[in-house]
Structure 1
Amino acid sequence: MLAAQMDESSQSSSPFISKMKRPAPPMSWQSWRGALTEAARQSWKDILAARWRQFILFGFYMFWLSMLLGQLVIMGFNTTSGSGSLGDDGDQGCQPDGQFSLYKNSFDWWAPRAFFEISLSAGAFSFANVKVIDIAAQVVVGRGGQALLAFISWCVFAKYLTAKMTESPITYATFWVIFLHQEPTLVSTYRLMRDFLFRRGPGSITAAAFMLFTVVFLLVFPTFVNSMTGYKTTNEPYVKGFDQNMILLDKLDKVAYIVHDGHRINQTDDYILRSYEGPMITTLSSGIARSDCSRSTPPKECDATRDISEYTKKYGFYGLLDEETEFNGITLPAPALNVSAFYLTGSTFYGEQYTDPRTGQQPFRDINRMQYVSSNELYSLEHVSSQGSCQPSSDTYQWGASFPQLFVMLVALSLWSIGIFAMWYKAHRRLPLAEDLKVPSGWRGVLELSRAMEAELTDAGIDLAATSDRQAKREIQKRLRGGAVSFEDYYLSKKDYRFRLEFIAWLKKERWWLGASVGCFAVAFGIWAPTGIAIPAIIFWVLGGVVLAVLWYIKSPIMTFKFNLPINLSRLENDRLKLVPLEDNLEAWAEAYVQDANRNPHVYDWLTYGPFADGADYVSWYNETSRDNASELLLAIVLKAGTVTREDPSTGEVTTTEVTDGTFAGLCGLSSQPERATTDIGQLLVSSFQRTFVVAGECK
């Protein structure tokens, strides 16, 4: 350790202490311009030095995970609240199971019978085209997806077990499956399960359970994709008319009004006006539907219905008003037009709130009064419901998936995505502790396994040359508990790195950024849920994922912390001070350090660099020599609010100084060489706080 000393008499003139007594002078325009120029230069240098490959990969991961979780939330909300729909199935009269229904969103997506139904389908394909799509899905998604997931999983498993083998050994069979076999099969699944449960696992119950889950998931993945997806014939909804002919459901529309004395307005008697809502009923409870006439630019056909709506709003129904009325600028003699309705709801046309003065009832709110019209013939709701049916089309097909199976698949993929990242992260943070340790894959793995087996079998007195394979397996299982492969030369204590503590500390430290990301997700869900508008929801949802990706890239040790020794920064503090990377506030702390060092120039007697003219000079030196050096780390010593007491060693005089929270006290350097298993304090510069708790507390 290099400790910079100073003359005791200079304590009272320290810029660190005097800075608390009087405010710093305001910066001039030239100083501001220089600071901004330097900030821009350093920002551009950081951009050029950024590891964009890692950033892109992590951004893609966050996008992937946010899409999985977002789709799960959307699917779950839609199918449990009844406020939305999934796809077109059930919206045009034919349910996903081929049953006829006038009610939108009435299909039970979670019913057991729906598990094998192709309930989410789309398109209108010929048989040849839909068959090509189905085969492509099985090959690309099923087999290709299995290969991709297996490749990622085995790479992560290999790194994770390599790191764990520095703590405890694994069995021969586990080593063979992960490092040599490298593919999910029934045999590999059985061997992993047997060894994890009864012999030697990966050192963590959670990790063992996740690895077994992943192997089983990958094993059944192609079969599950094949079961989940498929094609079916396109169904068309029809209603049997009074003449026994089949009427396409789209040809039916709800009746809004009937003008019984239509001849008075140059129409036929019993003049029927449509609502232009379509035949479907939005909900089982209210039957509310959205009419084309409610759009900002309604079609021309709506004019007549809207005119009658305004007329009834002013003069009422049934011609009960016995006085002159006006319709479209024409004065009609008494009585008012005899207008009736069947079922009206919503705000498009008047009538839902109408009260019949003769009975005191609101007759147009009863959904059972609903009537449909086709070719000027009226059909009751009961007739359409009972006489409706779905007829398969012989020449068009739809391709899709089973909703319950897709939901299960998304849940499994979400669990796999979260778990595989957690395993990668733990391995990524632990392996640098044994820098020259390589993952023993391929021929290197064969060599490592043979060395371990030769040493252990020789010690146990088992001669493979003199025994059969079955007998050797029995002896290994019985006497060696499956054998043991480890990296004893790189043994690391579990206390060297604690994933759970670091993760909890990271959550606490970044709670505001995480809250902002969760807020994006909440806004996305809040926009989509009541309105059904998917595009803004997707934008906000993706924005949440991007915020998390940028946050992790900027703040996480994975992306920005270049020091080759994993350190939990949240643990580098006590109740009086904390250590933080100098880069967190480089310009300000560099200026404070240089001011103090220049007032006490003998501080450079112990250093191989300096002196510096000002903070900018120090920043330039730091960027060129230390910023990208993975074996060195400079930490700022930052005090918390309190009292600093110092005793003069020659006179015994005690001085007390009050410091505010965030006071810069000095610098501390670390130098790490994992290949030599050494980490040392490189420099300790606390000239203003010599012989105080700062030195003792920092060194602890």
Structure 2
Amino acid sequence: MRVVSTGKQSTALYSCLEHIGTPLICLLLVALFTGLFFSRALPHSDSGSSNSKFSCSADGKVIPPLGYPKDQNWDPRLFLSITLAFGNLNFPQAKAIDVCWDFAIGRGGQALVAILVYPTMRNSLLTLLEKRPLRMPLVTSLTFEHFSVWSWWALAKEMIHSWSWRLSAYLYIVSYLLAFGTLVSAMTGYQAKQAPFYRSGNNLMDYSKVRLVPAATVTDADRLGLPSQVTVWGSTSDPNYPLWNYTALAGVCNSTYRSSGIEANGTLRSNDTVYGDVWSGTYAPTEVSDLFTIDWFFNQTPPDSRSASTYASRYGALGWRDCTTSNITIANYTHSLRAPPLHFEYQPDLYLDENGKVLDEHWLQKVSTCQTLETYQWGFSSLMLFTFCMATAIFLTVLLTLNLDIYLNSQVNRVHQDFSLHRDILDYASEIQAEVGKDKADSMPSKVLESYMGSLSAEARVSAYEYPPSRAQTFRKQHGRRFRRLRAELRAGHAYSMGEMKRSLGLTYGPVPKASASDGFDDVRLYDVT
């Protein structure tokens, strides 16, 4: 097949930017977006621990504030569900956004990508035709039908007869472009907004009135005349609320400090700000300060000498705060306790309703439900979005590989090519006339000609002898002899080392002949494996 070019030879810089720079930049941008979005911007299950509100997952389950046992953004059961939803829309607004997305991004993006990719496909097809002939139906389909189901089918049939990595790349590109609109449309959608509720009797109670409070268990509360184990929480609805604040204050006992920072004895009080950042349920400084107190003294010798030596080597001399006697007032009665202070253990946070009643977590899981509202949200399926990003990254990698192949191995594309429908019609008409015969082809009905061309084994090939050599050919011509000699030297050295190893193992006897690089040098050749 004859190729009529413009005659303008492309510069090395322009060819490098066209074939390598542009797809490489696009690939890096897609990889950067995928990495940053799915590692930073995408909400994860562990972020739920900092959220004090109940919410609903995409499958209609209530998500507690302490996080979800399985990250819904990566749950394969929610592959087609909208897990990244935004907005507070009515139905016409949500529908309009979805239609505009499908039309502008789905179909418009598909057309734009096809327009941008077509020159690469044509140039790569010319490069392949320089190396080997292709059957005429395949070349005709790729040239005139572009990225259609028919071109995909022609590629699939050709792959059965003769495999080529370039044909595999064409097949993936055509498959990606055919699926582009479907993927873009499937990864978005709109759904009714949901709100979490729980059933109490015959009523649905709003979760917005449920609070999350920290809790602890005092394991030796019998020293106060209470049961041995008492659970306290950070809310004034707790009858033992002073005991809760006592645990917060006792949390600063037995702590390591720098010797220069604290060296005197003292008393910790209920409104002491030293523990204000430990729990959120501490008393305000304006409240009575003698509801409970804990006396302490500064010990220069911490009990854990190994830990102390580790910290001392890093921060200097250390000391240990030991708490001794303590006083606490509960139900208008003050208890004086000897050392040590009351012992407590941290517990999972508790749920309180609007009346300060503790709600059992397991009971809430059974009675919780999500109710749909009258408003809508529009958004993405995180797994579908990730799949699309991965497919796009593979697509750009394939495109970059084809462009690199064009840049290195093509002779025809060393000269700038302009593609024209009329030029293609003339070229393929001449090929058909050469195969069938001009007079016979002119009088054939369309169906007969179609069947006849499909049964022929006619092949198309590009003759590139009139064009400058490819960059790979130029490189081999300039440096081929040097590489052939290096290859011969490596072979000679390998043969000698293997002979020495066999002799040392007793497999052979006698001296090992030293092969020179010139031995068999004329038989060593570099081939263009394309």
TM-score band, normalised by shorter chain = 0.5 to 0.7
Cα distance, 1:84 vs structure 2: 4.9
Cα distance, 1:420 vs structure 2: 0.9
Match of 1:334 in 2: 335
> Could you tell me which of 110, 114, 136 is aligned with 1:146?
110
SS of residue paired to 1:567: helix
CA distance in 2, matches of 1:98, 1:128: 23
> Could you tell me which of 368, 372, 394 is aligned with 1:388?
368
Render the CA deviation track for 1:440-497: whole Å, top value 9, x for unaligned.
Answer: 5321111111222222333xx992234433333333333x32x22222253899x966
In the superposition, relative to structure 1, how do residues 374 and 268 fare at CA in structure 2: closer, same or farther (>3 Å)?
A: closer
CA distance in 1, matches of 2:214, 2:98: 42
Render the CA deviation track for 1:287-312: whole Å, top value 9, x for unaligned.
Answer: xxxxxxxxxx979976538999xx99
Match of 1:567 in 2: 475
Match of 2:211 in 1: 252
Cα distance, 1:407 vs structure 2: 2.4
> Could you tell me which of 453, 457, 461 is aligned with 1:476?
453
Render the CA deviation track for 1:399-439: whole Å, top value 9, x for unaligned.
Answer: 11223322221221111110011112211333456644735
Match of 1:185 in 2: 148
SS of residue paired to 1:374: coil
Match of 1:194 in 2: 157
Match of 2:461 in 1: 486
Find out whether 1:364 has 2:343 as its counterpart.
no
Match of 1:404 in 2: 383
CA distance in 2, matches of 1:469, 1:490: 35
Render the CA deviation track for 1:114-165: whole Å, top value 9, x for unaligned.
Answer: 1221122222223232222211110111101111221122221101111222
In the superposition, relative to structure 1, how do residues 386 and 414 fare at CA in structure 2: closer, same or farther (>3 Å)?
A: same
Match of 2:185 in 1: 226
Count of matched residue pairs: 394
Amino acid in structure 1 at the alignment position of 2:380: A
In the superposition, relative to structure 1, how do residues 576 and 62 fare at CA in structure 2: closer, same or farther (>3 Å)?
A: closer
SS of residue paired to 1:364: strand
> Could you tell me which of 124, 147, 155 is aligned with 2:119?
155
CA distance in 2, matches of 1:576, 1:116: 56
In the superposition, relative to structure 1, how do residues 119 and 410 fare at CA in structure 2: closer, same or farther (>3 Å)?
A: same
CA distance in 1, matches of 2:138, 2:436: 17
> Could you tell me which of 71, 91, 100 is aligned with 1:136?
100
> Could you tell me which of 172, 179, 184 is aligned with 1:213?
172
In the superposition, relative to structure 1, how do residues 196 and 55 fare at CA in structure 2: closer, same or farther (>3 Å)?
A: closer
Find out whether 1:464 has 2:441 as its counterpart.
yes
Match of 1:115 in 2: 79
**Gaps in structure 2 of 5+ consecutive residues:** 1-10, 225-235, 245-275, 297-322, 487-530
Render the CA deviation track for 1:503-540: whole Å, top value 9, x for unaligned.
Answer: xxxxxxxxxxxxxxxxxxxxxxxxxxxxxxxxxxxxxx
SS of residue paired to 1:449: helix
Amino acid in structure 1 at the alignment position of 2:463: E
Cα distance, 1:109 vs structure 2: 4.8
CA distance in 2, matches of 1:118, 1:167: 48
Structure 2 contact 292–328 (Cα < 8 Å) conserved: no
Find out whether 1:68 has 2:30 as its counterpart.
yes
Find out whether 1:172 has 2:111 as its counterpart.
no
CA distance in 1, matches of 2:117, 2:477: 29
Amino acid in structure 1 at the alignment position of 2:176: F
Structure 1 contact 121–398 (Cα < 8 Å) conserved: yes
Find out whether 1:270 has 2:239 as its counterpart.
yes
Cα distance, 1:375 vs structure 2: 3.0
CA distance in 1, matches of 2:51, 2:148: 38
CA distance in 2, matches of 1:304, 1:52: 72
Match of 1:639 in 2: none
In the superposition, relative to structure 1, how do residues 422 and 576 fare at CA in structure 2: closer, same or farther (>3 Å)?
A: closer
Amino acid in structure 2 at the alignment position of 1:473: E
Cα distance, 1:195 vs structure 2: 3.4
Amino acid in structure 2 at the alignment position of 1:270: P
Render the CA deviation track for 1:660-690: whole Å, top value 9, x for unaligned.
Answer: xxxxxxxxxxxxxxxxxxxxxxxxxxxxxxx
In the superposition, relative to structure 1, how do residues 77 and 423 fare at CA in structure 2: closer, same or farther (>3 Å)?
A: same
Cα distance, 1:196 vs structure 2: 4.0
Amino acid in structure 2 at the alignment position of 1:96: A
CA distance in 1, matches of 2:399, 2:156: 18
In the superposition, relative to structure 1, how do residues 355 and 122 fare at CA in structure 2: closer, same or farther (>3 Å)?
A: farther
SS of residue paired to 2:131: coil
Q: TM-score, normalised by structure 2?
A: 0.60
Cα distance, 1:98 vs structure 2: 1.3
CA distance in 2, matches of 1:158, 1:399: 39
Structure 2 contact 199–368 (Cα < 8 Å) conserved: yes
Find out whether 1:445 has 2:404 as its counterpart.
no
Structure 2 contact 44–71 (Cα < 8 Å) conserved: no
Match of 1:344 in 2: none
Amino acid in structure 2 at the alignment position of 1:490: Y
CA distance in 1, matches of 2:25, 2:277: 39
Cα distance, 1:389 vs structure 2: 1.7
In the superposition, relative to structure 1, how do residues 83 and 121 fare at CA in structure 2: closer, same or farther (>3 Å)?
A: closer
Match of 2:307 in 1: none
Cα distance, 1:230 vs structure 2: 0.3
Amino acid in structure 1 at the alignment position of 2:215: A
In the superposition, relative to structure 1, how do residues 373 and 64 fare at CA in structure 2: closer, same or farther (>3 Å)?
A: farther
SS of residue paired to 2:62: coil
CA distance in 2, matches of 1:223, 1:68: 19
Render the CA deviation track for 1:562-613: whole Å, top value 9, x for unaligned.
Answer: xxx86379957849999xxxxxxxxxxxxxxxxxxxxxxxxxxxxxxxxxxx
Render the CA deviation track for 1:84-122: whole Å, top value 9, x for unaligned.
Answer: 569x99984311211113252424555553122112222
Amino acid in structure 2 at the alignment position of 1:453: I
Cα distance, 1:61 vs structure 2: 4.4
CA distance in 1, matches of 2:122, 2:173: 14
Bigger shift: residues 142-151 or 125-134? 125-134
In the superposition, relative to structure 1, how do residues 473 and 426 fare at CA in structure 2: closer, same or farther (>3 Å)?
A: same
In the superposition, relative to structure 1, how do residues 196 and 239 fare at CA in structure 2: closer, same or farther (>3 Å)?
A: same
SS of residue paired to 2:132: coil
> Could you tell me which of 58, 67, 71 is aligned with 1:104?
67
Amino acid in structure 1 at the alignment position of 2:144: L
Query: Greater relative contact order (Cα 8 A, min sep 6): structure 1 or 2?
Result: 2
Q: TM-score, normalised by structure 1?
A: 0.47
CA distance in 2, matches of 1:363, 1:258: 5
Bigger shift: residues 166-175 or 224-233? 166-175
Bigger shift: residues 68-77 or 170-179? 68-77
Cα distance, 1:174 vs structure 2: 2.6
Amino acid in structure 2 at the alignment position of 1:193: A
CA distance in 1, matches of 2:115, 2:293: 69
Counterpart mapping for 1:431-580 below 5 A: 431-432=410-411, 435-436=414-415, 438=417, 440-458=419-437, 463-478=440-455, 480-481=456-457, 483-490=458-465, 567=475, 571=479, 574=482
Percent identical residues? 17
In the superposition, relative to structure 1, how do residues 381 and 101 fare at CA in structure 2: closer, same or farther (>3 Å)?
A: same
Find out whether 1:419 has 2:409 as its counterpart.
no
